[in-house]
Structure 1
Amino acid sequence: MWTRVLDLEEVGIEDDFMELGGDSLAANELLTLVGEKLGVSLPSSALVDSPTLGAFARTVSLAQQAGPRHPTVVPLRTTGSRPPLFCFAGAGALALGFHSLARRLGDDQPVYAFQAHGLERRGFPDWSVEKTARRHLEIIRIIAPRGPYLLAGHSLGGLIAMEIAQQLAAAGDEVGFLSIMDTYMPSSLRITPGEEDGAAPAADTANGAGAPVTPGGAQEHARTYRHRLTRFTQRLLPEQRANFTNIATLKKMVQIPLTGVVQFGGMEQFDVFFNHGRLLERFYRPQPWAGRTLVYRSAENPDSEDAWSAFLTGSHDTHYVPCEHFYLLREPHVIKISEHFQAEIDRVVAEQAARR
C-alpha cells in the first residue's frame, strides 16, 4: 500500500512516510486503502504517531484497541517550552500536511494542526470562515489560554488563520505572528453588492463575525443546515453558472450539501470538502490586519505579488516559493519556510521575555 500511494518500487521497514514524499493527499489515499483492504479505520494522526512503515503496521494491528481521536485537531508535537504554533489546512486537506513543517521546527516547538469538521468523522460542517474560526478558537484557548498566539494557514486555511487572528485581537489577545501560505484572494471580493445581500443566514447574522458560539443543540444545527441546502440551489460557484447542464457540475451540486454528513469514499471525500471550501472563501470578506504577517506565494498563485498588501496594514514580508500549490508544505520547500518561522518565533519569545 505504501509503495502504491508513494509511487515507489520498494519501502524499508524503518522508512518514514513524509521523508519518502508523502503528503496530505497520499496520506488520505493510504488511509482509504487500509480501510478498504484491511477493514481498519484510522485517523490521519496515525501517521504522525507512527511515521515509519514498521510502526504504522503495528498501529494497524492494534487499531481495534485504539481510543478515539479529536475530529478537527491533530497534535503534531505537544512538548516544548515555546508558544504553540497553530496551523490550519486548506479545503479538503488533512492536518497531517503540516507534519514536515512541525518536524523542521525542532523538539522545543509545540505544533497543532486543524482540519475541517466532518472530514474524517461524520459531523455538521461549518458553512462560513467565521464559524470555522470560532470552532477552532475554542480548542486553541483550551490548549493555550494566553498568547502570544502563532497562526499559519495554507490555502483556505490562510483565510481561517486571518479570521482567528481578528477574533483574538478583538478579544484583546496578542497575536505573535500570522502566516498566509499560498492563500488566493477570495472571490467574495468580486461579488457585487446585490449578490452579497443575504449571503449569510439569520443565525450567522445574530451571532456576528466575532461573537462566541452559543449552544443551540441539534435543532439549531438542523435549521442552519436546511437554510444552507435551500440557498445552495440559488447560489452557484461562478464557473458553474455556464455549465449548469454538465454532469460533473450537477454531481458537485448534489454532493456539497452533504459535506460532512455523508462520508464519501477515497479521493471523492477530498473533492467534496474542496468544493465546500470554495463556497466558504466565496462568501468571506477579509478585514485589514495590522499584525506581523508572512505571506508565501507558489508558482501557481494567480494573484499579483502585492495583492494582500491592501489588507495587511502592519509589517509583512512576501516570499516566492518555486513549486505547485499543493507542494508548498513538502520537502524541500518547507526547509526555507521553517527557517522563517523559527526566526519569527525567536522574535516573539524574545519580546515576551523582555516584558517579564
Structure 2
Amino acid sequence: MISESNLTELQLLYWIGHQLDPSAVHFNNVFSFAFTTPICPDIFQQAFDTAVSQYDVMRTVFREEKGVPKQQVLAAPPAPLCLVDFTAEPDPAAAAMEWQRHRAQRPFQLEHGLYDSALLLLNEEASIWFINMHHLITDASSFFLIAETLLGHYATLRQGEKLTITEKPPFSRYVDALQRQQASSRAAKSHAFWQEKVSQPLDPANFYGRLPAKRNSQVRRWIYNLGTEQTTRLIALAEQTDLGTTTSELRQFCLTATLFFGLMHQLTGNSHLGLVTTIHNRATQVNRQTAGVLMELCPVQVTIDQGETFTTLLHKVTEEMKQLLLHYRHGASRAASDLALDVMFTFVQRPSLSFDEQIVKHTIVHPGHGSERLGLHIHHLADDNSFDLYLDFHLDIFTEEEQAHAQQSLQKLLDRLLENPDASIQDGAIPWPEFASDDLGLNGNGNGRSKPSYAPPTTPIESQLQQIWEEILDRSPIGIHDDFFDLGGESLRAMSFLSKFEAATGHYLPLSTLLRSSTIAALASQIETETKPDAIITIQPGSPDVPSLFLIPGAAGNTLALNRVAKNMLPEQPIYTFQTPNLDVEDFPAANVEHLAVYYREAIQDAQPQGPYYLGGYSAGGILAYEVAQQLRQVGETVPFLVVIDMPAPNPGYKSWWRVSHFLAKALRLSSHREEAIFLWGRDNWNRATFFRVFGSRRILRNYKGRIVRFRKMTLKRKLHHMQRRFKNLPGEREIRQREAAAGAQVNRTPEPRDMDASSITDPRARALFEMYDKAARKYLPQSYDGRITLLRCPLGYGRKEIRSPFPHYGWKRLTKDLDVHTIQEAHGHLALLREPAVSIVGQTIQTTLSKTMNKDDSK
C-alpha cells in the first residue's frame, strides 16, 4: 500500500488509525492564539485566506482510490474562517473557553478538509484565533509557521499595502524526497536496524501491577509549569553533563526523557522500558519552512540496572538517541507501531510570537481524548523560558488515586534530580496506593471479572479468527475465551473485523453477531453451525418482573451503539434490539417504512405476545419504532412508552407533493423509480426551504444585528477605516461579497457537525442498507399519534439538510399533542449522542422516563 500511496509512512499509520475510528478526536491538534490589540475581522479573514492558499497542507484532503489512500490538494480553501462574537456574553473569556473546549472535540472527515479555524471576538481590544488541524497535515512547528505568515499578511493589509505572495515549500516536495530515498542503501540499513529492534519486544508495562483494557479514548491531562527558575536549573544541568557532541535541544530532550523513564520504572517496577517519541525532520532550511507532518515516530528503549542513577540513565538515553537519529528517517514509525509500546513522550519548542509589540499568548486546547495509556509532553516556552509539563492519563488505565500518586512521583523525581543528579532513581520512591480487591476485581480493572487464562485455538476457523483479532485489536496472544469488548473492541473495530473476516473466508457476519458471540470460541461455533440468527438480540436480560424495552437501531444497523446505551441503564431492565433483516444486497425489500416495520412488529410479538409494549429507536430507527407503535395500536395493543433518539419527524404535509409526483408520473408514463426520484427531489427541497424560512432568515438577521453592534462599539477612527474598506475597492466589491457570503453563515453560531451519511460507510452491505433505510424514512408519510412520545435530541440539531428540522421539537408536535423533549447538552452531534460522555446521559434519561411511565401504569 505504501508504494502505491502518496502518503508518508507516518501519515499512513495516522490514516489507518482514523479509519479504525473516524469519530475519534485524539488526532485533533488545537492551538489558541490570544490577541490583546484591536483586530479587524475583515482584514484577518483576508490574511487567513491568503495564508491557506500558500500552504498546500491546509488545502489537502484524503480520498481512497481502489482502496489506496491518496492525498489531494484542492485549488481553493476547503473551509472559511468562522467569526464568533462573544462581546454580548456576561463573561466573554469564559464563554470563548467553553466554546473552544467543545469545538476541539469535533471529528474531521478526511475527504472534506482537515482544519477548523475561527476568530473569536471578546471585546474591542481582545480576540482569539482558534485553529484545529488533524495530525495528518501538521506537527507543532507548522502552527507557528502558519501563524507568523498570517500575522505578517495582516500587518501588511492593515497598512493598506498590497500583499506580495511568495511561494511556500509544498509538503508534496517533502513526500517525494522521502519516497526517492527509500531505494538508497542508507534506507536499507535503517530498515534492517528497525527489524532488529522489533524482533526484541518488551514485556507490557503494567502500571501499578495491572493491565486493564482500554474501552474508550478518554484522557485526563495534568498541567504543571516548572517556572523560569527551575527550568533554568534543568537546562544548566543538561549543559554541564558530559554527553559528548550534542545540541542543546537534544540534551534537554534526553534529560527530561530520563525523568520520564524514572517515573515509568517507579510506576511499573519494570527494568526494560520503552516509549514512543517524535523526531522532527527539519534539519534543512527548506524543511524548516515547510508546513506539514515533517516528523517520524520513534521507539526509545532502555534497561535500568540495579542502583541506576539519574546521571547513568541520562547517558543511556543519550546513547540510544544518537543511534536512533541515524535511522529515524526510514522505518522508525512502522517499528514504533509494531512494538505497540503505548506510552508517549514528546519535547516541543514553542517560539515567542508578538504582534503590535504585544506578546501573543498561545495555549493548547486539549480535546480530552488520546490513544496511549500514559503520555508526557514537555513544551519549552520561549516567552518566559519555562517548561510546561502535560501528563496525560488514560482513564481506563489509571484511577484517581493512581493519577495523584504519579503526579507526586514526577514532582519528587524532579526535585531529587536537581538536588543530586548522582542519586538513585529508586531512592525515595513514594509507595504505590493500596488497592481494595473488592473494588478492583480479580483482573484489577474494576469490572469484577477475572481474566480467563490463555486458551489457544483448536480449529482452523478459530486460528483464522485469532489472527484477525490480533491484527485489529493490536494484542497478542488472544485466547479463544477472551471477550472482544474486554480487549478494547468497539463499533468501528468490529466493522473492520467483520470486513476482514468476509474477505478472508467468504462468510458474511452482521454487526450484531458480536453481541451474541463476543469470544473466538463462540463465534467459531456459530459459524460452523451456520444457523440463521434470531431477529431479536438480547442486550441485557434484566429481571423477569420488569417489562422489556425494545430498541431499533439506526439506518446503519449499529446494534453495538445501543449496547452502550444499555450499559448506562439499570441492570434489572430487560433490553432487546434487532438483527437487521434482508442483509443480502441483491434481495433488499422496497424502501418502505410500513413494510419494514412489519418485521420488527412480528419479532416483538413473537418475543412478547401481549402488551403493554415499550419501544424506542435511534435515528431512522426512531421512525421505524413510531410506525411499529402505530401498527401495534391498530390491533388493540397499548404502547405507553415510545422514545425517539435524535430523529426529526417526517412532515405529513409531504402527502400533497406525493399526489403531484404521482400525477406527473402517471401522465408522463414514468416508471415507479422515476416517480420515487421526483417525490424525493421535491420533498428534500421542501425540507430545505422550510428550514431556511424558519431558521435561516433568523440567522441572517442575527448576523446583521451583530455587525451593527460591533460597528457601534468601534472608535471613530476604526469606523472610518471600516467604511473606506467597504467603499474603495480594497479589495474589489465582488471579492468582498464572496468572502462575506462564505463567512456570514458562520457568524454567531457553532456550525453543525456533519452527520453520518452513506459516504462515511465503507462496507458495501452496510452502505446499501443505510441508503435503503434512509430512503424509506424520507418517503414515509406518517399518521398522527395520540400517545406520548419522548424525544432525545442533541443541542446542535440533526445535521443532514434533507432531514434536519428548524424546530426545537424536531417537528414531532405536528404528529402528537403529548411530547416530552430532552436536549442532551453533552452531545456535540448526532453520532456523539451514543458515545461518551453523552451516552451515559442518554441511558439515564431513557431509564428515568421509562421508570416513570411504568410506575404510572402500575398505579392504574
TM over 0.5: yes
SS in 2 for 1:273: helix
Can you list the C-alpha shifts for 1:21-51, whole angstroms capped at 9, x where unaligned?
723x543332111221355443333321344
* Structure with the largest fraction of strand: 2
CA RMSD of aligned residues (A): 3.6
Residue 230 of structure 1 deviates from its aligned partner by: 4.5
- Pairs within 5 Å for 1:298-313: 298=794, 299-301=796-798, 302-303=804-805, 304-306=807-809, 307-313=811-817
Counterpart residue identity of residue 231, structure 1: S
Residue 166 of structure 1 deviates from its aligned partner by: 1.4
C-alpha distance in structure 1 between counterparts of 2:833 and 2:489, whole Å: 12
- Pairs within 5 Å for 1:197-346: 197=662, 230-236=671-677, 237-238=680-681, 267-298=763-794, 299-301=796-798, 302-303=804-805, 304-306=807-809, 307-321=811-825, 322-346=827-851
Can you list the C-alpha shifts for 1:227-247, whole angstroms capped at 9, x where unaligned?
xx94114432429999xxxxx
Most deviating of 28-37 and 159-168: 28-37
Counterpart position of 1:5 = 20
Can you list the C-alpha shifts for 1:141-199, whole angstroms capped at 9, x where unaligned?
11111222111111111111111111222222111211111113337744625335479
C-alpha distance in structure 2 between counterparts of 1:352 and 1:233, whole Å: 48
Most deviating of 65-74 and 286-295: 65-74
Q: How many residues align?
A: 300
Q: Is the 8 A contact 2:511 2:557 kept in 1?
A: no
C-alpha distance in structure 2 between counterparts of 1:32 and 1:188, whole Å: 39
Structure 1 pair 168/148, CA: closer, same or farther in 2 (3 Å)? same
C-alpha distance in structure 1 between counterparts of 2:808 and 2:785, whole Å: 17
Residue 274 of structure 1 deviates from its aligned partner by: 1.9
Counterpart position of 1:22 = 490
Counterpart residue identity of residue 80, structure 1: S
Counterpart position of 1:78 = 541
Residue 85 of structure 1 deviates from its aligned partner by: 0.9
Q: Is the 8 A contact 2:812 2:819 kept in 1?
A: no
Residue 120 of structure 1 deviates from its aligned partner by: 6.3
Question: Does the alignment pair 1:186 with 2:650?
Answer: yes
Residue 309 of structure 1 deviates from its aligned partner by: 1.7
SS in 2 for 1:104: coil
C-alpha distance in structure 1 between counterparts of 2:684 and 2:858, whole Å: 55
Can you list the C-alpha shifts for 1:121-140, whole angstroms capped at 9, x where unaligned?
87442531111112211111
Q: Is the 8 A contact 1:6 1:21 kept in 2?
A: no
Counterpart position of 2:394 = none
C-alpha distance in structure 2 between counterparts of 1:30 and 1:230, whole Å: 40
* TM-score computed with the length of structure 2 as normaliser: 0.32
Structure 1 pair 168/196, CA: closer, same or farther in 2 (3 Å)? farther
Structure 1 pair 188/338, CA: closer, same or farther in 2 (3 Å)? same
Counterpart position of 1:106 = 570
Counterpart position of 2:396 = none
- Pairs within 5 Å for 1:86-125: 86-119=550-583, 123-125=587-589
SS in 2 for 1:305: coil
Residue 86 of structure 1 deviates from its aligned partner by: 0.9
Counterpart residue identity of residue 659, structure 2: G
Q: Is the 8 A contact 1:71 1:121 kept in 2?
A: no
SS in 1 for 2:839: helix
Residue 88 of structure 1 deviates from its aligned partner by: 1.1
Counterpart position of 1:353 = 858
Q: Is the 8 A contact 2:791 2:820 kept in 1?
A: yes
C-alpha distance in structure 1 between counterparts of 2:793 and 2:832, whole Å: 11
Counterpart residue identity of residue 290, structure 1: D
Q: Is the 8 A contact 1:74 1:96 kept in 2?
A: no
Most deviating of 343-352 and 171-180: 343-352
Question: Higher relative contact order by CA 8 Å / sep ≥ 6: 1 or 2?
Answer: 1
Structure 1 pair 83/120, CA: closer, same or farther in 2 (3 Å)? farther
Structure 1 pair 239/91, CA: closer, same or farther in 2 (3 Å)? farther
Structure 1 pair 104/39, CA: closer, same or farther in 2 (3 Å)? same
* TM-score computed with the length of structure 1 as normaliser: 0.71
Question: Does the alignment pair 1:195 with 2:660?
Answer: yes
Counterpart residue identity of residue 76, structure 1: I
**Percent identical across equivalent pairs?**
24
SS in 1 for 2:555: coil
Residue 64 of structure 1 deviates from its aligned partner by: 3.6
SS in 2 for 1:235: helix
Question: Is there any run of 5+ residues in structure 2 with no aligned partner, and where?
Answer: 1-15, 23-370, 372-472, 665-669, 686-760, 799-803
Structure 1 pair 68/330, CA: closer, same or farther in 2 (3 Å)? farther
Q: Is the 8 A contact 1:21 1:330 kept in 2?
A: no
SS in 1 for 2:834: coil
Q: Is the 8 A contact 1:154 1:181 kept in 2?
A: yes
Residue 320 of structure 1 deviates from its aligned partner by: 3.6
Q: Is the 8 A contact 2:791 2:822 kept in 1?
A: yes
For the pair shown, the structure with the greater C-alpha radius of gyration is: 2
Q: Is the 8 A contact 1:162 1:178 kept in 2?
A: yes
Q: Is the 8 A contact 2:512 2:579 kept in 1?
A: no
Counterpart residue identity of residue 235, structure 1: E
C-alpha distance in structure 2 between counterparts of 1:19 and 1:239, whole Å: 48
C-alpha distance in structure 2 between counterparts of 1:284 and 1:18, whole Å: 40
Counterpart position of 2:634 = 170
Structure 1 pair 186/46, CA: closer, same or farther in 2 (3 Å)? same
Structure 1 pair 118/295, CA: closer, same or farther in 2 (3 Å)? same
SS in 1 for 2:818: coil
Residue 96 of structure 1 deviates from its aligned partner by: 3.2
Counterpart position of 2:622 = 158
Residue 319 of structure 1 deviates from its aligned partner by: 1.9
Counterpart position of 2:510 = 43
SS in 1 for 2:583: coil
